[in-house]
Structure 1
Amino acid sequence: MLRRVAFASTIGTAAEYYDFFVYGTAAVLVFGPKFFPSADPLIGTLAAFATYAVGFLARPLGGIVFGHFGDRVGRKKALIVTILIVGLGTFAIGLLPDYQSIGIWAPIALIVIRVLQGFGVGGEQAGAVLLTAEYAPPARRGFFASLVQLGAPAGFLIPSGLFALLGATLTQAQLLDWGWRVPFLASALLVAVGLYIRLRTEESPIFATIQRTKAVASRPVVEVVRQFGPTIVKGVGAKLIEACAFAMYTMIVLAYGKAHGIAQGMLLETVIVAVALELVTIPLAGALSDRIGRRTTFIAGALLHVALVVPFFMAIDSGNRAAIQLVMILAISVGHSLCYAPQAALFPELFPARVRCSGIALIWQIGSLLGSGVLGLLAVKLIQLTHGNSLALIIYVAVLGIVSAVSLFALPETAPQRRDGDLHDWGGGEPVEVRTAARASSSSSSLAQP
């Protein structure tokens, strides 16, 4: 069952990331002239990324709603609803008339769909990671939970590969006319497979125990904020660099390259190679977090991003393919994996089971909004205002990397084998430390009795 759950969760995550990456790629390549026509191509790209950011604005609300739903009704039910919302939205974009056909209603319809998608995505990632983590054995939780994260590179590679294929086989006119719709319409297949598998997956045994013992939280979002507010804030801080880095190195770099006249095809190919390697490095980083701890692994990735950001843009500016490929591999295959893999176990381990889904959703979606959604809009604006100067982007990544490292230092280590047990009772009761203290007190009392 663990393998089925992991596969089902990975497919759902792939569908989620497919949505955001197919839109992000299209925003750079075609959405400017199709939905936001402007005399300045960069203005059209900026408008397209503004719509991209709108999707992130709805994610925290979706996280709150589906986090509550997941803690009250079940992880599986929430995941079935979210994959339908995200998948149908992506398919609908492929059917939208463009600005030339219906005028202002085209970008308005695009924005409405993006809001609905963001709402669905807000509950997808937390529930998918949580379902797998709650099935996994404690000693290998980092590895098995990281398998869900493979949905991110898979969700990026499929639309990127499709756009690369379309770009190689179609003329620019054909791509702008109808070719761009193909990746959006093709999402229906991925969603259908994910939905079929999820319907055949059983509910988390831990949530089933919570329901059976009637320990379900009445207001999980309120409870988690009241009891774990500081933990949520530090978790959001930890999330920032991972959310920022992947958006920067897979999508923003295309807009940056476009402003500098660097071949889009070459940049996209180097990104695809680096992301493909993540299919190997993410599980390795997850297994590493089981051995040396979640925090140590995550901090190493955050600091690597800080160290790499200047060489990264120097390589991009050089236009040298070998140099660009090297920094892409270091930043994405190594740096991003070291951040992305351990958080799949770290964030669930920060909360007790009865409010776990709500806690993860808040960290994940607020962190994604600030690190990736805001970045997508801000970065393209900075590129426009500075005429392609990379200094502002370098500072942005470096600051977020330091913030994430400091936040991680402030969080407890949660890997069970690094602390002789879980931080909280994994099955939905009270904190491990409370139970341990109670047992110690009981033992002392027994010894003291004649």
Structure 2
Amino acid sequence: MTSQAIAFTSSSLEDDARKINARDHSIAPGDISIGVIIGRTSEFFDFFVYAIASVIVFPNLVFPYVDALTGTLYSFAIFAVAFITRPIGSLIFMAIDRRYGRGTKLTAALFLLGGSTAAIAFMPGYATIGHYAAVVLVILRAAQGIALGGTWDGLASLLSLNAPPHQRGWYAMVPQLGAPLALLVASGLFAFFLLTLSEADFLDWGWRYPFFVAFAINVVALFARLRIVVTHEFERLFEQKDLVPSQVLPTVKAEGRNIIIGAFAPLASFALFHMVTVFPLSWVVLFTDQPIDRFLVIEMIGASVGLLAIVVSGFIADQIGRRSLLGWSALGIAIFAVVAPLLLNGGDLGEVAFMILGFMLLGLAFGQSSGVVASNFATEARYTSSALTSDLAWLVGAGFAPLLALLLSVKFGLAASGIYLLSGAIATMVALYVNKELAARDR
């Protein structure tokens, strides 16, 4: 797609969004929050659809020539590719943002994200094209990562930084609601097809439908986000340089310390993110005889608990401060890292307890992990710095979590899987200690 075509498509969508804004005269904060939630839900839905398929589909479709464990490890290695290419996407789309505007950037990024995700649904397997199936999967996964780098719109920071001081925690948790909502829908779709189709039909065509749905959700999310981007309020903040894309290299040079601190501050929640979603599903599939659909239902229950915990995190953070909540939740995650393997290997009740406790802690921590040090950044560098911080946090904290946890479990036993999670909790506590600015604001 040429830059002219992208600009034309984006301009048409922006015109439609402006017409709605003119009809409604203004957009209430609640409308902005809904738009942010829809946007985050679309991104996480693409993420979870791929994550679930990386456990129950790709080892059979792409790597049938090796044993199930090896195939899953290969699949998890490709899973990490998107986190590696995401910073590249940020570089590309920041340039598009500076030259063509945020509407064009979001349009191109979300069409690339939805298109690459939908393209996976048409992907032939090893039986058809041999080893090229893995090559195609790597390319499409890399495209997903590049697209995700362009979906950063700064709205999470906008909500948090422009919230009243006594409601900063509440507004910070709003964008995070997209993750459990996306997991609920993605797990529900896969569970439905697993329950209603034979194993052969599911592996042949049933698994492809959630990837089609992802494209439709991205189109809806695009319009919802454009409606926010083209509001006069948002444009005013843009003009005031609260959310201006800056040059990457000068930004890194000036804000490198805060970017690193910002990436490590939410590391506990980002590591836990995959330890209660992707990794336990792989463990159940590989080392138990339990039906996959049953565990997906348990994940849906856990996601519901996580959703409530995210909401609660907003109330708690406004009472005791975001830094205090992140610190206490990191301590809870460190304790959970020790007992979690025992629960996951403790039968039906142990698995349910693992998921409930894990998602409860995840909701409390993840609910306040968005832009936790954004106000540390210089105003003119805040937009780009926040995007780079998010990219680095996901790469270090989450990208390799399923692969490393499974490798540690296989080599040293299930108890070793908690090591990665424990390291993330320690990193968060150290980053919070170093971040004196956040500490001062919480007092």
TM-score in terms of structure 1 length? 0.84
Distance 2:221 2:243 in 1: 27
1:246-279 per-position Cα deviation (integer Å, ceiling 9, x unaligned)? 1111111111223321513343322221111222
1:356 to 369, 372, 382: 382
1:186 to 199, 213, 221: 213
1:397 to 408, 411, 421: 421
For the structure 1 residues 109 and 156, does the alpha-carbon distance in structure 2 shift closer, same or farther, using more than 3 Å as the test?
Answer: same
| Residue 316 (structure 1) aligned with residue 344 (structure 2) | yes
Which residue matches 1:424?
A: none
Distance 1:211 1:24 in 2: 35
Q: Which has the larger radius of gyration?
A: 1
Whether the aligned pair in 1 keeps the contact of 2:102 and 2:229 (CA below 8 Å) is no
1:207-286 paired onto structure 2 within 5 Å: 208-209=235-236, 212=239, 219-263=246-290, 264-286=292-314
| Residue 379 (structure 1) aligned with residue 405 (structure 2) | yes
- Cα distance, 1:116 vs. partner? 1.1
Distance 2:159 2:96 in 1: 17
| Residue 287 (structure 1) aligned with residue 311 (structure 2) | no
Whether the aligned pair in 2 keeps the contact of 1:223 and 1:355 (CA below 8 Å) is no
RMSD across aligned C-alpha pairs, in angstroms? 2.6
Distance 1:153 1:101 in 2: 36
Distance 1:240 1:369 in 2: 10
For the structure 1 residues 318 and 212, does the alpha-carbon distance in structure 2 shift closer, same or farther, using more than 3 Å as the test?
Answer: closer
1:183-229 per-position Cα deviation (integer Å, ceiling 9, x unaligned)? 11111221121122223224476863466468997844233322221
For the structure 1 residues 359 and 262, does the alpha-carbon distance in structure 2 shift closer, same or farther, using more than 3 Å as the test?
Answer: farther
| Residue 83 (structure 1) aligned with residue 93 (structure 2) | no
1:346-379 per-position Cα deviation (integer Å, ceiling 9, x unaligned)? 2322323321121111221111111111222222
Whether the aligned pair in 1 keeps the contact of 2:113 and 2:147 (CA below 8 Å) is yes
For the structure 1 residues 213 and 274, does the alpha-carbon distance in structure 2 shift closer, same or farther, using more than 3 Å as the test?
Answer: closer
Which residue matches 2:369?
A: 343
1:388-427 paired onto structure 2 within 5 Å: 389-414=413-438, 418=442
- Cα distance, 1:39 vs. partner? 3.2
Structure 1: give runs of 5+ residues left out of the alignment: 420-450
For the structure 1 residues 178 and 297, does the alpha-carbon distance in structure 2 shift closer, same or farther, using more than 3 Å as the test?
Answer: same
Whether the aligned pair in 1 keeps the contact of 2:187 and 2:299 (CA below 8 Å) is no
For the structure 1 residues 411 and 365, does the alpha-carbon distance in structure 2 shift closer, same or farther, using more than 3 Å as the test?
Answer: same
TM-score in terms of structure 2 length? 0.86
Distance 1:385 1:298 in 2: 32
For the structure 1 residues 18 and 217, does the alpha-carbon distance in structure 2 shift closer, same or farther, using more than 3 Å as the test?
Answer: closer
| Residue 165 (structure 1) aligned with residue 192 (structure 2) | yes
Distance 2:316 2:109 in 1: 31
- Cα distance, 1:45 vs. partner? 1.0
Structure 2: give runs of 5+ residues left out of the alignment: 1-26
- Cα distance, 1:44 vs. partner? 1.0
Aligned length: 415
- Cα distance, 1:163 vs. partner? 0.7
For the structure 1 residues 119 and 140, does the alpha-carbon distance in structure 2 shift closer, same or farther, using more than 3 Å as the test?
Answer: same
Whether the aligned pair in 2 keeps the contact of 1:13 and 1:125 (CA below 8 Å) is no
Distance 2:157 2:95 in 1: 14
| Residue 140 (structure 1) aligned with residue 164 (structure 2) | no
Paired residue secondary structure (2:154): helix
Whether the aligned pair in 1 keeps the contact of 2:243 and 2:383 (CA below 8 Å) is no
Distance 1:68 1:294 in 2: 33
Which residue matches 2:5?
A: none
Amino acid at match of 1:222: L
For the structure 1 residues 278 and 73, does the alpha-carbon distance in structure 2 shift closer, same or farther, using more than 3 Å as the test?
Answer: farther
